Structure 1
Amino acid sequence: MKFGMNLQTGLNRYLSSWKSPDDPSPGTFTYKLDPSGFPQLILRNGSVVLYRSGPWNGLRFSGFPQLTPNPVYKFGFVFNQSEVYYYFELLNSSSPSRLVLNEKGIAERFAWTDQSRGWILYSSAQTDDCDTYALCGAFGTCNIANSPKCQCLKGFVPKSLNSWQVGDWSRGCFRSTELACPEGKDKFMKHSGIKLPDTRSSWFNRSISLAECKKICLKNCSCTGYATLDIRDGSGCLIWYGELIDIREFNANGQEIYVRMAASEVENFCGYGRESPNEDLELPLFDFSTIASATNQFSIQNKLGEGGFGAVYKGVLKNGQEIAVKRLSETSRQGLIEFTNEVTYIAKLQHRNLVKLLGCCIEVDEKMLVYEFLPNKSLDCFIFDQRQAVLLDWNKRFVIIHGIAIGLLYLHRDSRLRIIHRDLKAENILLDNELNPKISDFGLARTFGGNETEANTRRVMGTYGYMSPEYAIHGLYSVKSDIFSFGVLVLEIVHGRRNRGFSHPDNNLTLLGHVRCCLVRNELFGKQMQDMFANSLPF
């Protein structure tokens, strides 16, 4: 069956409920494909909207995260000048399935089983309270895992705080800062993992890009948000006018929407002001006063260390959370480019062997990065300190090496950005409570796209002793550059001495040079090397 409309004849195929389980006369509930704006399925009791599916995004309806390829049926959506409809087709005709709207107004799918000789409930369109239409009102969002379920979107506050606090969210939210339109100074904030708002007051275009979509929205003061129409290839444009209604959050298969905001609101998040909307990061911005208070006014007692970027301080927020603050010094060799670089890359990366960035601070001349606090500081504090080195037996060193390798593999192959770190060294490996490693400091990182395997830079930056020859001499960097640095790091972890700090009495070579010399002479596992490592390790 075609569940939808013939746009030329007006024929509308939809579901209606029975009056009761025993009375097949028409009930009050209907489940129809609504063609206004961008089409979506809407469930009504009479004229009152109870539930909607959200728009079709190329793979599924936005509000159906559970609608995925399955062994029972395949499905699809057709939308052309003549027709708009949803359909499904059984993969095995001997295993019937039916879609019904029951007398209580719940859309359900049943599957027949020969074993029980009856129908079993396979799925339901409405699954929880957050599927209730407009439960959280305009510019509100529902998350069934939260308490309370309803929250205002970032940059919005409840219209009636008293009602909101007692669980009546129907009046929704309004902007805490008015838009600057028509001056054109507004920006957009990205919200991810959501069911897109009601599309009955929307406009769409299937052929333009997301960047063009943003420009169209920005020119119209009535435009409140935009999104990709087809998530399979990122094509098409869907624009909303007026209030954004019936948004909910999903743990999986949600979508992204860009909501129009006053520039000052968007600038409360790190990563603002980028040309591509895909670069909006929604990373919290901390006030300078908050960071200063947390670090006891950047006291020397709170100082953890210092590098090329500047000093690093330990801090404690008012909620008790411990943080590490990297403060860009006025004389730093690294500047705004490296600061922005680190925010851009590490904010998008999520891996247990990468340090977590919590936010940043940009205020007047101050630039700071706020990280999770790792009590055991960096790897160099252990492997190059004879007293601390005894805590790292061979098993623990192996775990550290393995963790760094896994993190590096994620950067090079598994992350969607494909990142070359360019400054992998012992000081940039932080250790958590259990001495598990986390790669940090992405100020010099670069991304590779498409089929790129190698790039060149005139600005060679990094740490001598860890740089590959082709990078140090010619500025050529690639995945191999990081692997070279990783190899040096492995030698240092095993031996317990710095590559550049090591000098063998027979040849005055660095650690790397001496190991290579022994390798050429086939002495890598000979007695000389065994003695060298045995005398170095504290076990």
Structure 2
Amino acid sequence: MDHSFLVLVLLVPCLLCFSSALETIGPTQSLSDGETLVSQAEVFELGFFSPAGSANRFLGIWYKKIPDRTVVWVANRDNPINGSPGNLTLTASGNLVLLSYSSDTIVWSTNTTSSKPMSSSVRLLATGNLVLQDGSDPNSEVYLWQSFDYPTDTFLPDMKIGWDLKRGLNRHLVAWKSPSDPSSSDFTWGLELHSYPEAVAWKGNHKYFRSGPWNGIRYSGAPEQKPNNLFWFKFVSNEEEVYYTYGLQDKSVLTRNVLNRSNDAWERSAWSDPTQEWKYYSSVPKDKCDNYNFCGPHGYCDMANLGCQCLEGFSPKSPDKWAAMDWTQGCKRDKPLQCGDKVGFKKFTNMKLPDTTSTWVNASLDIKACHEKCLGNCSCTAYTHSDIRASGSGCALWFGDLLDIRTFSDGGQDLHIRMAASELGGDNGNRLKIAVAAVVGIVGALGMVFTIYCCHRSRTKSKGETGEKGEKEQKNEHSGEDMELPAFDLAMIINATGNFSANNKLGEGGFGPVYKGTLADGQEIAVKRLSSSSGQGLKEFKNEVILIAKLQHRNLVKLLGCCIEGGEKMLVYEYMPNKSLDAFIFDDKRSYLLDWPTRFSIICGVARGILYLHQDSRLRIIHRDLKASNVLLDKEMKPKISDFGMAKTFGGDQSEGNTNRVVGTYGYMAPEYATDGLFSVKSDVFSFGILLLEIISGKRSRGIFRSNQNLIGHAWRLYSEGRPLELMDPCLEDTADSSCKFSEVMRCIHVSFLCLQQRPEDRPSMASVAVMLGSDGPLPPPKQPGFLIDCSDGPSEADSSSGKLLSHSINEITISLVQAR
């Protein structure tokens, strides 16, 4: 008989019944099953437990003095220890590891090492936070690891729910599957990252409840959440963190928020000593109006009338279903709005603000400027203050359908909704702001804004050079323009570029050629010269001035000024000495200069640049022509996105737009854009996915691989066959031992497939992409990506079924698509 097995059988019951408490766990020390770690003031306790009705062992934290153990955190929730005790050890490398006695395998780990591993220690704080810290300074609040960063189903005071953007960490709650099973269920709660963040509960892939955005005092959908003598609340949103937290005015009170799968609710409760039980005092959803989008688009839920109503100016989209109390299809406008219609805004009060997925926010605008901003964009459907403190401040705009609205008898806030002017006559005393939104076509709009941003010569030539008549003609030509860009004289540009010498030519695009130049002070520049024979180039030139004149980001190329003189129209940019990314990754010799750390840095830099365009710039910008040749590299090989001639702008992040003129580069286009002219921020995400594969592989997306596959098909085949690393550029394998992190390569390949999903709604946002690239957490499994059409011969025929004509050039295969009207 195996005597070691007999000893273990005899030992296990003793371990389970024996109990002793520790204050800390030091280097190479351990916590065995039967021992516990107790917090200061003996509020919380860490140890091993088995849920009622289960033999599995888990490492968890619970309230020490509350009977019927109330667990607030579980380490190994999805990997229980079966049939044997466990052991928690602080290793010599400074890593906290949970082992199973029976198999001596690692069940759970912090996966964190300390710069001073031998001085590390583990403590359980009075807040319920298990921390791994530098033992040389036990009072430090800088932790090597903490359980508050990885909550399970319970939200405790001083804990944060939300994002640490620097670390790519998403602190969110996941409910237990059942009272006897702490493993992760499909019921989750967390903060959604977009311009106007809000808390959302999900059941599987479906939104279940939405808090509304934080309005400076509370979530707009939680009017009962007001300052009181018991709690304080705080919402933080900046470049490094987006999170919600709360705390107690009276530290002696025990309170918690639990995500409960048994009744699909977020429950807030406090411990009652007299009754020795948890007293529930609030929960959400609290009524049927809290169910996400209960009344459909443009419908609002009104508990006073026990059902759904259409916003004034809207009627049920399906009257028969509406009468049968099926409100899911929502409401439609009585008078559909077109650009150029006379419109105004009607103020609705006591509203839970609509879903903020498609919003634009500016904290510095007042309500008048917010009104004008929405009025000037015919895609804008509503606006309000983003912060309701004092007399209100900031601006939030909505685009597209208004979803998940309800009214409150006490609470909510004002929402100004776009209406036809003819519907605003009988407003029952509400203050109206009626105006004509005269929105012209895109070319006219570009021309109008162009006159605002574009510049002319800052130094007027003397009469002796131009003559009095010529001077007057110049003044008339530019009268009324607001000079916001530095101006360059034509003579200066000619001298800098050697009179546009062929030796200084850097390349050519649809707008015309680009030249390198050197100014008198030695500054190097790149000059984009509009070709006089290019009608399309004029539109691109105007668009580029409009979009990039005031964009400031380290991963966007910087516009220095322009020159409009003597029939010439030129843009002057900072010069990128290493030219474009394609000159490296597609060149057999120069590709060796890009080791994996450099490539990964370029990937992350491009992601940050696109995220800025989509989310953080003054306007929402869709680039529409993201490709390797439009990523320039500075002297330190840092990437800068260039060429905004094809870009589209929105006042907010619309779900999608449509165009009759598809422009861009074949091989990078999203399927829905190339075939139907539909574009969105997710079109850029698709292009980024292509760029990722090209950077990893060193191969062009238009290349032909085995079985006549393009790069996406080739990469997916390798991934599906379990050979993804064979996609790597061979030159990376030569440096793999010193610089290439296979885990990062694998992660980038995985992220690329998520970006390349066929359906735009299945692709992540660039905010999510940036987080995924910067973290090492689990990623969702990708579906088969949207394969591009075989491009060995390029598109050449009209699609007779759709009336669309594709044309392309030989080099970049830049497409223009004309749709029959």
Give TM-score, length-normalised by structure 2.
0.33
Larger RCO, structure (CA 8 Å, separation 6 or more): 1
- Larger Rg computed on CA atoms: 2
TM-score, structure 1 normalization: 0.50
